[in-house]
Structure 1
C-alpha cells in the first residue's frame, strides 16, 4: 500500500566529477484542492485527517488563512495558546528524531521508553492548552488565561530533557551555543545520546560535512507570497519552489543560525544537528516564560476580501496555507510545505549530498542518511547509493 503522505526517492550515483543526486517525490502537494466547495468549518475539521504530520502547525496555518480572508484577528490569548501548542509539537517532532533516529546511527537501540515519556507529557500539556479541542477553530474565543497545572507539566518536561537529552539544564545548554569551546566540552564529557552522536562527528572528522551554497529563504511579504502561490504555474511552484530563481532553505538551521559554531565547524552536519537541539531548549524556554511561539506565527488583520494567507514556523520550516473564499465556501486552497523547499531536486539536500567525499558505499550511505536526518523530511524516504 502506498503512503498517503507520499515519500521521497533519493538516489546517489557516482560520476567522474563526484556524486550526482536525484530526488523524486510522490508527495501529494495539491491534496488541499480536496477542500474546494467546503465551508471553513468543514475544512478545519477535515484538515487533521488529511495532514497528520505537524497537525497543529497545519491547523494553525489553516485558521490564520481563514481568519485573514474574513478580516478576523484572534485575540492575543488565542494566538499565544496556539503558538504554545505549536511549540510543544515542534519539541516533540525534534525529540522523535533525537530519541528514535539518532541512537541507531551509534549502533544502539532507539530510546523508546524515553520517547513514550515525551509523548505522554506532550499530550498532557496539549490537553491543558486546548481542553475543548477548539483552539484552532476559525475565530476561536474560548481559551483564556493560564492553563491550570501547566507549570507542573513543564517542570516534568524540563527534568526529562535535563536527564535524557542535555545532561544539564536546557537553559544552561543554550549558553553553550555562543561558546564553541564550552560546546565542545559538553560534547566530549556528556553521556546522553545527543552528546555522544555529536562527539562521534567531532572524532570522525565529519562535523563539517554537507556544506552548501544554498541560502536561507528570506522573510517574504504576504503580498509576494500570495502572488506567487496564485500565479498560473502555482502547482509547479508548490511542488518545486524557488525564490528569485534559486532553491532556498527553510529549517531549524536557518532559524537558529548559530554563528559562533558555524565559524568553528562550518555550516555542516554538526551545526545542523545542534540546531534541532537548540530549538528544543528554546521552545521549552518560551513555554516556561509564557511567551511560546512569539515568532512562530504571523497574524495579520485581513481585508475580508476572501483571500487569506496563514504562515507557521513548523518543526521543519515555514509552512504556508493560501485560501480563497467565495460565498462562504472554499474556491481554492493551496499549501506550500518546508519539505518541498529543502528537498527540491537542486536544493539544500541534493547539494549537501553531492558534496560528500568519495568513499566506500557503506560510508557514503551512513553519511548521506545522517544529512537527510539532520535536514529532516516529514515523510519516509528511500536512499539508493
Structure 2
C-alpha cells in the first residue's frame, strides 16, 4: 500500500486496489482476521464495533495504555529513503495511511494519504458488493440498506437512489 501511495505516477488514493482486489477495512476486517468470522451483515459489523469498544475499555481500565505489546499492530512506520517516509494507524473506520516526501530544505514536497473510506466505498468495494443484486420489497428494505451503509461508516454522507431494474 505504501509503495503504491508514494508512487508519483499513480492516483492510488483515489481508487485503491491490490492485485485487482478492494478489501474491506475497519473493525469488521480486524475481527475477521482475529476470529475468522464468515457472515458480514450490518448486525455483525455493529456487534464487532461494540466488541472492540469493550476490549478498548478493558485495556484502558487495566492501565495498559503504556504497554507497547498491546498496540504493536496499531501504528506502523516506514522509512522510504532520505526525506521520505510513511505511517499507518488503525482507526475506528480502518487503516489510515500517510506518506510524505520532503525537499532538500525540509519542506513538504509531497504528501499523500489514504483513508479507509476509499476502500470500503470504492465502486468495486465492500459497500457496493453488499448492495449489488439486493432484492428490495419495501420501505423496511430501504432502512436495512441505510443500516448496512452506516455499519461501514456512520460519518459518510451518501444519497440512496433505488431504481427498478425490471418490470415487477
TM-score (norm: length of structure 2) = 0.82
Partner of 2:117: 339
Residue 285 (1) aligns with residue 61 (2): no
Mapped partners of 1:339, 1:298: distance in 2: 19
The verdict on how the C-alpha distance between 1:322 and 1:331 changes in structure 2, with shifts beyond 3 A counting, is same
Mapped partners of 1:256, 1:320: distance in 2: 20
Distance apart, 1:378 and its partner CA: 3.6
Q: Which has the higher helix share?
A: 1
Mapped partners of 2:19, 2:13: distance in 1: 14
Mapped partners of 1:227, 1:321: distance in 2: 11
**Structure 2 unaligned runs (5+)?**
163-168
Q: Which has the higher strand share?
A: 2
Mapped partners of 1:356, 1:347: distance in 2: 15
Residue 296 (1) aligns with residue 44 (2): no
Partner of 1:306: 83
Q: 2:26 aligns with which of 233, 251, 268?
A: 251
Could you tell me whether the CA contact under 8 Å between 1:297 and 1:311 is conserved in 2?
yes
RMSD: 2.1
**Structure 1 unaligned runs (5+)?**
1-224
Report the structure number with the largest CA radius of gyration: 1
The verdict on how the C-alpha distance between 1:303 and 1:344 changes in structure 2, with shifts beyond 3 A counting, is closer
Higher relative contact order (CA 8 A, sep 6+): 1
Q: 1:274 aligns with which of 16, 24, 47?
A: 47
Q: 2:10 aligns with which of 234, 254, 259?
A: 234
Mapped partners of 2:80, 2:142: distance in 1: 51
Distance apart, 1:356 and its partner CA: 2.7
Mapped partners of 1:250, 1:377: distance in 2: 14
The verdict on how the C-alpha distance between 1:312 and 1:289 changes in structure 2, with shifts beyond 3 A counting, is same
SS in 1 for 2:18: coil
Mapped partners of 1:303, 1:376: distance in 2: 31
Distance apart, 1:358 and its partner CA: 3.0
1:234-286 CA-partner distances (Å, limit 9, x unpaired): 32x101111111111111001112747x46xx222221111110111111122
Mapping of residues 140-219 of structure 1, within 5 Å: none
